[in-house]
Amino acid sequence: MGKVAVGVAALAACAVAGVVVGRRVRSRRKWKRVVGVLKELEEACEAPVGRLRQVVDAMAVEMHAGLASEGGSKLKMLLTFVDHLPTGYNNP
């Protein structure tokens, strides 16, 4: 009887190990898929520095046009005035 019990225990241990390994393999496949999607997104969103500077310049032009006149730009700007900037000290 002892040899049969040891054989059954060994068989059960192998089955459990197989399940655990299978889950890890599936988990790693999912993770590899996620990493692939992130790499693809990074490559698609990559922009050269020259293009980013063009975007900054165009935005600055739109901001100035929006401040110069109402309806002068697609970018809506509000004229504001600040008397003095906060210093962090309480002025009575």
If you count DSSP H runs as helices and E runs as strands, how many of each does the chain have, helices first? 2, 0
Query: At 73, phi and psi to the nearest 5?
Result: -155, 160
Separation between Cα atoms, residue 11 and residue 8, nearest integer Å = 5
Q: Which of 60, 79, 59 is nearest to 69 (CA)?
A: 79
Global pTM reads: 0.39
From first to last of its 92 residues, what are the pLDDT tens digits of the chain? 566 776 777 777 777 777 777 888 787 888 888 888 888 877 887 888 888 889 889 988 888 887 787 777 777 777 777 777 778 887 65
- On whether the CB atoms of residues 60 and 73 are closer than 8 A, the answer is no
